[in-house]
Amino acid sequence: MAGPDRTETAAQQSVAVLDTSLTRGLEAIGTGAYVVDEEGRILAVNTRARALLARTAEDLLGHDAHDLLHRDAHGQPLPRSRCAMRQAFHAGRTAQADVDFFARGDGSLLPIAWLLTPYDIGDAGSGTLVVFHTVEHTAETGPRPEPAAGPLRELERLALLADATTRLTSTLDVDEALERLVSLVVPRLADWVIVDLITEHDEVWRTAVVHAEGGALVRRDELQGPMPPVPEASPMPLSRALRGVASTVAGPGTYQREPDSGLAVEQRRLFEATGMHTAAIAPIRSTRAVLGALTLGRAEDPVAFTAADLPLVEDIARRAGLALDNARLYQRQRKVAETMQNHLLPQMPGVPGLQMTVRYLPAPDASQVGGDWYDAFPTSDGSTALAVGDVVGHDLDAAAGMAQVRNMLRAYAWSQHELPSRIVTRLDEALQHITDVDMATMIFARIEAAGDGQWRLSWTNAGHPPPLLISRDGLARYLTDGHGIVLGAGADTPRPDATTLLAPGSTLVLYTDGLIEAPGHSLDEGLDRLCRHAAALAHRPLSSFTDHLLRRVRPADNDDDVALLALRTPVPRAPAAGR
């Protein structure tokens, strides 16, 4: 018995994270709803379902829905071979029934009508949504009748809205949100979908015109593009929707009259080009503003849109508005973060003979303004200082701390003609007293010409990933000497120095841990990956070397920012023939 119990506990634990995100979409449904995974185990369940079934979330999550809930009319377990719900589940198709039975937690039998449909659960794979509500049933009911049109149409509407909530709110990319919106409604509700969005400059852009053709979605680029301005008082449907006034059903005749604006002219062109006989047009709103308009049109489908369809279209448009607004805010925040970080990071100085290039890649999360940084600057003794570091944290405080560390380092390195270890020791002492930086890692180095085409590199490492040195012939090795404790540790431990000579054509790479660290992988794996790719790219020009290194080495699931500084020493020119 121990084995099954452990399996069941693991199954319940595996759905805990999924339940949190999926349940948000299910709560928007006004009746019972739950989602199962590919094995039929319950991943998420809404409050209404728990109440109808008289069961807690713990009673439901992780359990096989058929075994736990499904019963025949006498309250007996229903064989899977007789279960229409199970058959549709395995076939991956939509199905429904108007009379069936679920077992409640108190032992009673609950007569229900249900609708089952495939359901997108994001990265976790494919799932199935079951929506149900109670129905009247007596022993005299007899054989189950054909599905009742009214309640099941309502279940289909609720299932669609749940799907819309999950799919639209699970992305923070505007283009991806629009693609999901299109695939959600075409051909499910309409032959055509048109999305008009209002830009940040109050201009209207026809962003999407998509038609369902033979099971494929075809984008009509010639009908997309800039639109005329929105008239302030026009009674025409699209104008009203773009002002956020109302939703309307329109047809070709709506725009046959004398146009009152350029927008009406474009709408007449749209109806003529698409052949739509009716269209439902609704505002796309966020909580703060009108973002645009959603138009669903029917041409091949002979059933015309009516005013009764508008509440559903409005609900979908409202969910699209929230998703688009969140995506826009995310992209705006990300742009601000990138701009701020780029202004904090310096331009590289020109050093005769040396090539230098730098790159900074922000974290995927727009809120993660990072503490990663690089720097290079001339010192008063004629050498060139190099630094790469990482202030702990991913927020504005980390970015501000990074600026403090960098500026203080510059001041000490310029004024103090001392070994790198002494400069970093002084910096560490100052950080603990006059900044809010709790902890940081850093490599600080000096480089200067040493004669015979070689360059002398001296450095100290304060808890940072080691520099990588690649020879002109592609031999790569990490500079592991000079390694000391992180800044901010408070330990009174002498910091070591290290020195090496860089041969002509050598490439030195200083980087932050976002380049090599990935969840579920060891640091050694990342270091090995960096070493192998850097060696293979040693023959490329430095700028190309750096770009390709970032693309090849940075983990796909990286959640950290990356700062990188690459330096290459010159190769002496061969003497001219005859000299």
Coil/strand/helix, residue 573 = coil
User: Does position 4 have pLDDT exceeding 80, yes or no?
Assistant: no
Asked whether the bond before 187 is cis by omega within 30 degrees of 0, the reply is yes
Which pair of tokens denotes residue 466?
Answer: 């080691």
Which of 275, 361, 285 has the alpha carbon at shortest distance from 317? 285
Distance between CA 281 and CA 309 in Å, rounded?
A: 10
Mean pLDDT of 205-213: 95
161 C-beta neighbours (distance < 10 Å), count: 19
Distance between CA 485 and CA 478 in Å, rounded?
A: 18
Distance between CA 149 and CA 314 in Å, rounded?
A: 22
CA atoms within a 13 Å half-sphere pointing along the CA-CB vector of 275:
7
Say what the pLDDT of residue 162 is. 77
Any alpha helices (H) in 244-290, and if so which ranges? 262-274
Q: Residue 401: which region, alpha, beta or left (left: phi > 0; alpha: psi -120 to 50)?
A: alpha
Which of 352, 460, 356, 371 has the alpha carbon at shortest distance from 413? 460
| Chain position carrying tokens 């991956």 | 92
Say what the pLDDT of residue 526 is. 94
Using 50, 70 and 90 to split pLDDT, how confident is the model at 338? low
Say what the pLDDT of residue 366 is. 46
Q: Which residues pair with 296 in a beta bridge?
A: 193, 280
The model's pLDDT over 435-491, given as tens digits with 9 standing for 90+, comes to 777 889 999 999 999 988 899 999 999 999 999 999 999 999 999 999 999 998 877
Helix (H) or strand (E) holding 239: helix 237-242
User: Does position 17 have pLDDT exceeding 80, yes or no?
Assistant: no
| Contact between residue 441 and residue 412 where contact means Cβ atoms under 8 Å apart | no
CA 115, chain centre distance (Å)? 31
Distance between CA 538 and CA 318 in Å, rounded?
A: 53
Coil/strand/helix, residue 300 = coil
Which of 66, 22, 23 has the alpha carbon at shortest distance from 41? 66
| Contact between residue 345 and residue 405 where contact means Cβ atoms under 8 Å apart | no
Say what the pLDDT of residue 345 is. 61
The model's pLDDT over 156-178, given as tens digits with 9 standing for 90+, comes to 777 777 777 778 877 888 888 89
Distance between CA 292 and CA 314 in Å, rounded?
A: 12
Distance between CA 467 and CA 541 in Å, rounded?
A: 19
Mean pLDDT of 97-122: 89
Beta strands in 412-524 (DSSP E): 440-451, 454-462, 468-470, 476-478, 483-484, 498-502, 507-511
Say what the pLDDT of residue 337 is. 63
Mean pLDDT of 313-335: 85
Say what the pLDDT of residue 455 is. 95
389 C-beta neighbours (distance < 10 Å), count: 25
Sign of the dihedral defined by the CA atoms of residues 249, 254, 260, 266, in that order: positive
**pTM: predicted TM-score of the whole model, two decimal places:** 0.52
The model's pLDDT over 125-136, given as tens digits with 9 standing for 90+, comes to 678 999 999 987
User: Does position 223 have pLDDT exceeding 60, yes or no?
Assistant: yes
| Chain position carrying tokens 């121990």 | 2
Looking at the chain, how many residues does it have? 579
The model's pLDDT over 505-536, given as tens digits with 9 standing for 90+, comes to 999 999 999 999 988 888 999 999 999 999 99
Residues 6+ apart with CB under 8 A from 542: 355, 356, 357, 507, 566, 568
